Amino acid sequence: MTTQLGLPDDIQACLFDLDGVVTRTAVVHAAAWKETFDAFLREREGEAFRPFTDSDYDQYVDGRPRADGVRTFLASRGIELPEGDPDDPPDAQTVNGVGNRKNALLLQRIRTDGVQAYPGSLRYIEAVRAGGLRTAIVSSSANTVDVLRSIDAERLFDVRIDGVVARERGLPGKPHPDTFLAAARDLGVEPRRAAVFEDALAGMDAGRSGRFGYVVGVDRVGQSDALYAHGADRVVTDLAELGGRA
């Protein structure tokens, strides 16, 4: 069965990232981050500020937990902010304040435009489950449950390790492998028998350092070379390319 799914035949479980793999929300996150960071930098540095770019998103923010994204990007510009508190207002000059601003913009965009799933991903996940493999959703996003519910896809995953669960369990986020490892453990499957599906470079790094059996890079933005460089065994532009049709 696994060969019909485009996977090595000893794979028993599939661990899927959410944003950019299952749903078209990676671009929504990227747009909310750009709006947040450009406003922050403009206020701090005046009109001569250097805008937040796609490459900044890919390198420093994509796939990481919210606060890690704020810290990592600002550090790349030589800026360090106090942590602040989780309920800091969106205009607070703290890591939490900047993160809260971005989350408000993200939720606004999701409310206005809704969430779209990738049909090829939903079909592939159904085929994986029909083939008797177990599935997990492994996302840094604290909005995972709401996003999955909005497309009625919670039922597709036996296990969920998201931003909320990671915080509760004290798991470091991607690029560390801990959230994927926790998902494999909860499914009762050894990492070498699990496949990781990721679109973010930080997620590739997590797949490689966790020594998972197979790592699929999902290239939605033309970064196939970078996905291979960060450890992908195979890169596809849509999960339908892997197979999965009965």
By annotation, the residues acting in catalysis are 17, 19
Residue 219 C-beta: closest distance to ligand BG6, Å: 15
Element (H, E) at 40: helix 26-45
Give one DSSP letter per residue of 128-180, joined into a string.
HHHTT-EEEEE-S-TTHHHHHHHTT-GGG-SEEE-HHHHHHHT---TTSSHHH
Residue type, 214: Y
Residue 179 C-beta: closest distance to ligand BG6, Å: 11
Q: Which is nearer to ligand BG6, 1 or 221 (CB)?
A: 221
Per-residue tokens: 91? 């205009």
Residue 131 C-beta: closest distance to ligand BG6, Å: 26
Residue 19 C-beta: closest distance to ligand BG6, Å: 4
Judged by the rule CB under 6 A, the positions of this chain that interact with ligand BG6 are 19, 26, 29, 61-63, 65-66, 69, 103, 139-143, 163, 200
Q: Is 87 exposed, middle or buried (0-12, 13-18, 19+ CB in 10 A)?
A: exposed
User: β-strands 194-198, 214-218: how paired?
Assistant: parallel
Return d(Cα 215, Cα 192) in angstroms, integer: 10
Q: Which is nearer to ligand BG6, 63 or 175 (CB)?
A: 63
Return d(Cα 16, Cα 153) in angstroms, integer: 12
Phi/psi of residue 132, nearest 5 degrees:
90, 5
Residue 142 C-beta: closest distance to ligand BG6, Å: 4
Q: Which is nearer to ligand BG6, 10 or 154 (CB)?
A: 154
Q: Which is nearer to ligand BG6, 1 or 107 (CB)?
A: 107
Q: Which is nearer to ligand BG6, 29 or 71 (CB)?
A: 29
